[in-house]
Amino acid sequence: MFGRSIVGPVAALGAVAAAAVGVTAALSAGKKPDPGLAVLQKVNHIVVLYEENHSYDNLYGGWEGTNNLANADAAHMTQRNQSGTPYSCLMITDVNLAAPSPLSATCQDSTTTNLFSSHFSATHFDLSTYLGPNATTCPTPGPSTLNPSFAPANGVPSGTGLPGGCTRDLVHRFYQEQYQIDNGKMDRYITGSDATGLVMGTYDTKQLPIYQYLHSQGHPKYAIADDFFQAAFGGSFLNHQTLICACAPIWTGAPNDGGADDLHAVVDGNGMPNNYPLYASPLGSAVRDPQLTASCTPPAGRPATPSFVACGDFAVNTTQPWYQPYSPGTADTRRLPPQTQPTIGDELSAANVDWAWYAGGWSNANGDVGAPGWTNGTGPTCSDPYHQPASVFPNCPDADFQFHHQPFNYYKNYATGTPARAAHLLDQAVFDNAVATSKTKCNLKPVSFVKPIGELNEHPGYASEFAGNTAQVSFIKAIEGSACAKDTMIIVTYDEFGGQWDHVPPPGTVGAVPGAHDKWGPGTRIPALVISPLLKADFVVDHVEHDTTAIMSTIEKRWNLKPIAREAHVASMATVFKANPPKTT
């Protein structure tokens, strides 16, 4: 069934892809096989739960035995203003953390011309103290057309929202993150953010439902990978792409004329495409921050692109797909042309290994009337009260459905009406049913990618961390309570950092451990958790360097598939099977 990996044009592309993107790699073709590969062959089901927007220090910074906040040195913790001077306080714009109201002003900062008062000194602070699970700071699910208070820029004032302890959202975009990382100094997260000092907020790890579950009696064996980085700089869109193809999408024929449909960024000499409360671009309002990388040859009237930034016709920030489902009303000129690069889905299908991408809310968004997960009746209009108002039946996306979180929908091989789409792009309800019916025999496909609906994906701004984390525990418990538990490897990770600080420099930067990198990333370190009965002990810590493309590598090495891009140079997550318990727990 599993045979040779892949033949024909996909294999040919794989042979040249890594060289084409200019990978600098510490891992070479001559390196010995990843430790743990023999154990990986005993895994018959890989389940990837892909959550949203948290750095490692933000979420797992209190996990014992790992490279956590206790190891953050002053050099990588100190945050500096645009001129390089360390802040003395944290400017906070979140309405529930601002001073002098609702919190007292205990710190005054005069390190910039923008004088401000704050409740917080210039270091990381515990969000859980102020925004615990009962804090009524979460928006009612739905866009502003349904609820005017949905995800306002600076958060929902306490007492006016739902419980869950939501913060405001934080900027997490391609060029901004590179400025924030500052070539490994990790010192510009505040300056390069619209949320300023909120980037230093962290959660009390020990209060997280996942932590409590994995420290309860009878918990499954688990590994923490504490040197795991998001594969690409920036946000969810590009990192979902790197998860499945280790590539950046190409906008074929992108206008480069400076007109209304020219979606190229304009960056200043610092590599920044925008202005923020603590960052003033030398180009003023001439900077632009749309979907594409900066032009390598900008048209007349636009500034030259600095030589050190990635340029070209690449989609790096949130872009809508060509195919439905896409955000209702999006013009053709704002939708990415169909992509043709090889993906892990193509590899698996060519090798006759079954797989699926399961998304919460997919049936409603895709117009799969009557399919599992469908809640919109029989028409002629969408009947679920939380559908997006501009929807046209049968495409009835949930108000919090995130179109750019569906990476395979951008590819021609999975176009509307194709058999591959029907077979592999499914609602999470299908996955949940497969688990529920796995009482004596596992009904899961060999490879499952699972993307929760927006309300439960842990994304700051519109989702509660505590509610999403509780759902994560329920998800794991369901698998562990089924016949699938004995040979399933569950990988839980986050698409990207959500704009939040971390103290560990990523590969390719000064002070980092050498590793595979290119012009797309890796970016900030993110949480990564593996659950499997094949681990050496109840709790182990994997200190091997990985990025998101390691998930592709793991799947490829389990089923003998050829690598197609940067994942060829990244250690697979089979290394967790050789990881040891921490010295102290």
Q: What is the CATH number of the domain that holds 559?
A: 3.40.720
pLDDT band at 30 (very low <50, low <70, confident <90, very high): very low
- Total structural domains in the chain? 1
Average of per-residue pLDDT across 393-403: 95
- Specify the pLDDT at position 528: 98
- pLDDT, tens digit, for every residue of 416-437? 999 999 999 999 999 999 999 9
**pLDDT recorded at residue 433:** 98
Phi and psi torsions of 201, nearest 5°: -70, 140
- 147 domain-assigned: no
Distance CA 48, CA 312 (A): 31
Reply yes or no on whether the pLDDT at 167 is more than 50: yes
Tell me what pLDDT residue 113 has. 86
Q: Which has the minimum average pLDDT: 28-37, 201-210, 448-457, 559-568? A: 28-37
Q: What span, in angstroms and rounded, lies between the C-alpha atoms of 463 and 472?
A: 13
Note the pLDDT of residue 147.
Answer: 65
Q: Residues 313, 252: contact at Cβ < 8 Å? A: yes
Query: CB-based burial of residue 420 (10 Å sphere; 0-12 exposed, 13-18 middle, 19+ buried)?
Result: middle
Helical (H) or strand (E) element with 375:
none
Whether a cis peptide bond, with omega within 30° of 0, leads into 148 is no
Q: Identify whether the C-beta of residue 146 lies closer than 8 Å to the C-beta of residue 389.
A: yes
Residue 461 pLDDT class (50, 70, 90 cuts): very high
Helical segments of 265-418, H only = 344-350, 362-366
In a domain, 536, yes or no: yes
Q: What is the pLDDT of the chain when averaged over all its residues?
A: 92
Half-sphere exposure of 99 (CA within 13 A, CB side): 20
pLDDT for position 513: 82
Quick check: 325 and 366 in contact, CB under 8 A? yes
pLDDT at 418: 98
H/E stretch holding 537 reads none
H or E stretch covering 451: strand 447-451
Asked whether residue 503 is domain-assigned, the answer is: yes
Please choose, from the candidates 192, 206, 196, 64, the residue with its C-alpha nearest in 3D space to the C-alpha of residue 126: 206
Copy the structure tokens of residue 503: 């103290």
370 Cβ contact partners less than 8 Å away, ≥ 6 residues apart: none
| Domain assignment present for 51 | yes
Residue 228 pairs in a beta bridge with: 546
Instruction: Evaluate whether 460 touches 468 at the Cβ level (below 8 Å).
Output: no
- pLDDT by residue (tens digit) across 280-316? 999 999 999 999 999 999 999 999 999 999 999 999 9
Q: Band of the pLDDT at 3, cuts 50, 70, 90?
A: very low
Mean pLDDT across the stretch 151-178? 94
Domain range for 227 is 9-68+204-245+337-360+404-578
User: For residue 532, which of 5, 12, 196, 41 has the smallest C-alpha distance?
Assistant: 41
As given in the structure block, the two tokens for residue 109 are: 């900062």
Element (H, E) at 77: helix 74-77
Instruction: Determine phi and psi for 362, rounding to 5 degrees.
Output: -65, -45
Calculate the dihedral angle through the C-alpha atoms of 378, 383, 386, 389, rounding to the nearest 10 degrees: 100
Q: What is the largest CA-CA distance in the chain?
A: 67
Contact 321, 409 (CB under 8 A): yes
> Above 70 in pLDDT, residue 54?
yes
DSSP H helices, 280-388, are 344-350, 362-366
Ordered alpha helix ranges (H), 266-379:
344-350, 362-366
Establish if 434 belongs to a structural domain.
yes
Query: What's the CA gap between 231 and 517, in Å, rounded?
Result: 9
Confidence check: pLDDT of 26 > 50: no
- Looking at the domain assignment, is residue 148 inside a domain? no
β-bridge partners, 510: none
In a domain, 307, yes or no: no
Residue 318 included in any domain: no
The alpha carbon of residue 509 and the mean position of all alpha carbons in its chain are separated, in whole angstroms, by: 20
Residue at token pair 């000499």:
269
Q: What is the pLDDT of residue 60?
A: 98
Count of Cβ atoms closer than 10 Å to residue 365 Cβ:
28
> Is the alpha carbon torsion for 213, 215, 217, 222 positive or negative?
positive
Q: pLDDT (tens digit, 9 = 90+) per residue, 241-264?
A: 999 999 999 999 999 999 999 999
Question: What whole-number distance in Å separates Cα of residue 199 and Cα of residue 189?
Answer: 7
